Amino acid sequence: MSSKLIVNASLQEARVALVENDRLAELYIERKKEKGIVGNIYKGKVVRVLPGMQAAFLDIGLERAAFLYVTDFFEEYGDAFNQNEVEEEKRRKPQSKLQIQDLIKEGQDVLVQVAKDPIGTKGARLTSHVSLPGRHLVYMPTVAHVGVSRKIETEEERRRLRDVVREFQRSEGGFIIRTAADRQPERSVRADVEYLERLWSKILRRRQGMKAPSLIHEDLGLVQRTVRDFFTDDIEELVVDDRMAYRQIKQFVGQFLPKRRRRIIHYRGTDPIFEYYKIEPQIDRALNRKVWLKSGGYLIVDQTEALTAIDVNTGRFVGSRNLEETILKTNLEAVKEIVAQLRLRNIGGLIILDTIDMDRRASREKVYRSLEDALGHDKAKTNVLQISELGLVEMTRKRTRENLSRQLCETCATCEGKGFHRSRRTVAYELLRKLYAEMHDRTSHRNIEVVCHPNVAMILKNEEYNAILDFENSSGRSIVVREQGNLHPEHYQVNLTGQEFAPSTLVRKEGSTEE
């Protein structure tokens, strides 16, 4: 597989595209005014403990309070009011039975790391099980274990790397050996061990001298994280358009990955880099609700706060032999595209896939295996259940940041996020009902002014012209309809006025009133 990293950096934002076989696979965006905070370490203050949720809310200096679940709390890095009481509670109860109210109190200071950015209306998710990523290792001060990435397959290499880490480790805690450490020399792994342990010591010292809430450690920016986490042997080249970012990457790579300096390219073309590599059209496609498949079938992607539903349709694909084969081919193509869309759109949480119903169990098994194979290329943790008799697949995908549509889009001011609004005819008929009620109000003799959207006014002045004339004749009061283009299609005003309207005020206008 041919893979490239394309970096578009500017003063306002940085965008990193992972391109696989000339197709956009993943997109990362960081804006200076909306910078993500995952990986940042804070000294937070507990503002509320919720026993019913087994969680606590902490003030870490953000607009919304962040939350910490009991399973993510490590009391050693919290300034407990009475540490003896906590230790006694731990001895008295099994670890699985510990309650948040026994471990943490309101007003307590806790060292925490952001595990998930604020998403939607939810605050950031925190953990006090800190992890510090390096180039080859991840240091975990709260876990006494040395693990190795599953992608390092040979047992001999796994054993060698464990031995190197254990030989040079000086502080408590554990390490995860990353895929990037595979076949790396001992000095490179040792340098990572020493650097991460020094960084942790520095964080603990800063914690002692700062008041909560305060930022203790900030993770690297997007461009530097890209080099650290994604610039592996699988990446053929890294192309960057900004001169300063190019120099920073060269410096970073020269220090940690000198053999890969030749793969870094400074883009000097006249076209914007994302246009040149045809990335912009793919971003636009990833924001569409409908995604067409090559065969002529299509997907419908509907995202809500709690879950995402993806519907598979045959569309224009009619097959060539029989219905079962047509359905199978569509589903096989669809699950591969679904995984690609999950990665690109960064969709997480609960996901429901509505495949086309298949009568044969063998067909369902084939589609399920194809889905699992496609998910093998996804770095996010997933859990997939078997296809049900109804053709539904339930799955989860780990969510750590906002999905693409939330990053790039905002709620429509017209439909207010519903995706639709009441039709012009519905609003027009509602207005007529209000006018009917008003015209039969014997206590009022004032004339009526209606202010509405032009589309609604068109129906009132054309199709319902005679109805309004009947209202006027039966009540002896005048009605004027005024158009206001900047009015919401569902909104209108009915004003009572003492003003006299000329009989020609309500002018019949010819024009289309199609819905």
Tell me: do 393 and 463 sit in the same domain. Answer: no
Assess whether 174 and 206 both reside in one domain.
Answer: yes
- In terms of domains, do 238 and 269 share one? yes
Neighbours of 430 (CB within 10 A): 14
Same domain, 267 and 135: no
Q: CA nearest 471: which of 513, 435, 419?
A: 435
Closest CA to 425 of 489, 494, 495: 489
Asked if 259 and 327 sit in the same domain, the reply is no
Q: For residue 180, what are the CA distances in angstroms to 54, 162, 183, 232, 416? A: 37, 14, 8, 6, 46
Q: How many domains does the chain have?
A: 4
Question: Do 135 and 237 fall into the same domain?
Answer: no
Range of the domain at 434: 424-497
Per-residue tens of pLDDT for the chain, all 515 residues: 789 999 999 989 999 999 999 999 999 999 888 888 999 999 999 999 999 999 999 999 998 999 999 989 876 655 544 444 444 545 555 555 778 888 889 999 999 999 988 876 788 999 999 999 998 999 999 888 999 998 888 999 999 999 999 999 999 999 999 988 888 889 889 999 999 999 999 999 999 989 999 999 998 889 888 888 888 888 999 999 999 999 989 988 887 777 888 999 999 999 999 999 999 999 999 999 999 999 899 999 999 878 999 999 988 877 667 788 888 999 999 999 999 999 999 999 999 999 999 888 899 999 999 999 999 888 888 999 999 888 899 999 988 778 899 889 888 888 888 888 999 999 999 999 998 888 777 666 788 999 999 999 999 999 999 999 998 888 888 899 999 999 999 999 998 875 544 433 343 333 444 44
Say what the pLDDT of residue 126 is: 95
Task: Pick left, alpha or beta for residue 39 (phi over 0 → left; psi -120 to 50 → alpha; otherwise beta).
Answer: left
Beta bridge partners of 387: none
Residue 456 host element (H or E): helix 454-461
pLDDT of residue 241: 95
On whether both 50 and 64 belong to a single domain, the answer is yes
- Per-position b or e across 291-309, b if 16+ CB within 10 A of its CB: bebebebbbebebeeeebe
Burial per residue of 336-357, b for 16 or more beta-carbon CB atoms within 10 angstroms, e otherwise: ebbbbbbbbbbbbbebebbbbe
Instruction: Give the CA angle between residues 449, 451, 452 to the nearest 5°.
Output: 145
Cα separation values, 147 from 56, 162, 184, 226, 377, Å: 30, 8, 16, 23, 21
Q: Are 116 and 8 part of one and the same domain? A: no
Residue 375 within any structural domain of the chain: yes
| 212 and 228 within one domain | no
Query: Do residues 325 and 178 share a domain?
Result: no
pLDDT at 252: 83
At 329 the three-state DSSP class reads: helix
What is the per-residue pLDDT for 39? 92
Other Cβ atoms within 10 Å of 195 Cβ, number: 16
- Among 386, 402, 289, residue whose Cα is nearest residue 341: 289
Q: What is the reported pLDDT for 512?
A: 40
Q: Is 514 within the bounds of a domain?
A: no
* Tokens read off for 408: 């790039």
Q: Are 289 and 308 in contact (CB under 8 A)?
A: no
* Stated pTM of the model: 0.77
Q: How many CA atoms lie within 13 A of 457 on its CB side?
A: 23
For residue 429, count CB atoms less than 10 angstroms from its CB and return exposed for 0-12, middle for 13-18, buried for 19 or more: middle
Do 31 and 177 sit in the same domain of this protein? no
Integer Cα distance of 282 and 340 in angstroms: 12
User: What region does 7 belong to: left with phi over 0, alpha with psi -120 to 50, or beta?
Assistant: beta
Helix ranges restricted to H, 273-346: 273-276, 280-286, 323-345
Note whether residue 488 is domain-resident.
Answer: yes
Token output for 338 = 């679904």
Residue 126 belongs to domain with CATH number: 2.40.50.140
Domain membership flag for residue 368: yes
Buried b (16+ CB within 10 A) or exposed e, 90-105: eeeeeeeebebebbbb
Closest Cα partner for 98 from 57, 69, 58? 69
At 79 the pLDDT is 53
Q: What is the pLDDT of residue 464?
A: 93
One domain, residues 381 and 300: yes
- By three-state DSSP, how is residue 92 classified? helix
